[in-house]
Structure 1
Amino acid sequence: MPSFTSLAIPALYQTSRSFAPRSLAAMRQAQYSSKAKPEVVTFEEIDTLIHKKDQNVVLIDVREPGEVAQGIIPTSHPIPLANIQEALSLPDKEFEARFGFKKFSKDDEVIFYCRSGRRSGMAFDIAKQLGYKGVRNYSGSWLDYEAKAKGQK
């Protein structure tokens, strides 16, 4: 009588051979057909966004009010990092009353920025944990935007 191993190994080999090509093909198809945008935003994307005045993308500045007073990226809305978790958990009407703009849905594209990218990364993580799928991070943030925007003038 043949041993279990002599019967099992050829069967496993045949099984893995028959599934592997389909699995690999499915992975490649998902990789190339994905419509998801990268999680990190570039200056060029921000520049295009503000010049198009795209109402479908929400730009959130998570700096403190004193920093926001030094300048902002056009079309952005300030919500300090300390308030992000609470803000994203508020009901729509309460959010709008408190922050002065319509609350975005969990599927909307939302881009966070701060001074240098650290706090915006934290806001991005908080939003992801709360189930927001369309969030992105402008990792260059205000310093990158200010330097490159001045260079364009």
Structure 2
Amino acid sequence: MPSFTSLAIPALYQTSRQFAPRSMTALRRAQFSVKTSQKPEVVTFEEIDSLIKKKDKNVVLIDVRDANEVAQGVIPTSHHVPLANIQEALSLPDKEFEHRYGFKKFGKDDEVIFYCRSGRRSGMAFDYAKGQGYNGVRNYSGSWLDYEAKSKGQ
């Protein structure tokens, strides 16, 4: 009777060959077929500054700080949706969202950047939105403190 290894090894080898790429070209093609245009989830000051200067309306910048913090200053072009309201806001129908927050609700694939004072709350908003299927969300981790310090230096 043949041993287990003499029967199993050729079968495993044959199975693995079915899924192996036929050539290095096929392997490279598979590696680079992943969508490379997807932006990183963390946003830099330079990106924020560029968005403001271009007045890019395709990107929604959302301030998740409390109203008293927003009164101290905001990043230009941003909209205010407090972190405490994010869960409810994302579940609102489009028209009700627009009525309540004063801007058009973004879609699940639209580019949206959250910021707060230092990056903690915007990270929470980012995580929640990502968990709800919003694929275009990003986080300005430096947030208001970073923006304020660097924009004054320009």
- When normalised by structure 2's length, the TM-score is 0.90
1:109-120 to structure 2, matched below 5 A, reads 109-120=111-122
Which shows bigger deviation, 33-42 or 63-72?
A: 33-42
**Mapped pair 1:87 → 2:86:** no
Letter in 2 for 1:58: V
Which residues of 2 match residues 1-153 of structure 1 at below 5 A?
1-21=1-21, 25=28, 28-31=31-34, 33-152=35-154
Whole-angstrom CA distance in 2 between matches of 1:18 and 1:131: 34
Please report how far the alpha carbon of residue 3 of structure 1 lies from its aligned counterpart in structure 2 after TM superposition: 2.2
Identity %: 80
Displacement of 1:21 after TM fit? Answer: 3.8
Query: Which sections of structure 2, spanning at least 5 residues, go unmatched?
Result: none
Letter in 1 for 2:112: V
Q: Secondary structure at the match of 2:79?
A: strand
- How many residue pairs align between the two structures? 151
- Identify which range, 10-19 or 136-145, moves more after superposition: 10-19
With 46-55 and 3-12 compared, the bigger mean Cα shift is at: 3-12
1:20, distance to aligned residue in structure 2 (A):
3.6
Which structure 1 residue ranges, 5 or more long, are not aligned?
none
CA displacement at 1:27 relative to structure 2 = 5.1
Moved over 6 A (4+): none
Q: Secondary structure at the residue paired with 2:37?
A: coil
Q: Which structure's residues are more often helix, by fraction?
A: 1
Return the TM-score normalized by structure 1.
0.91
Superposed CA RMSD: 1.7
What whole-Å deviation, never above 9, does each CA across 1:105-149 have from its counterpart, x for those lacking one? 111000000000000000001101111110000000001111110
Report SS of the residue matched to 2:76: coil
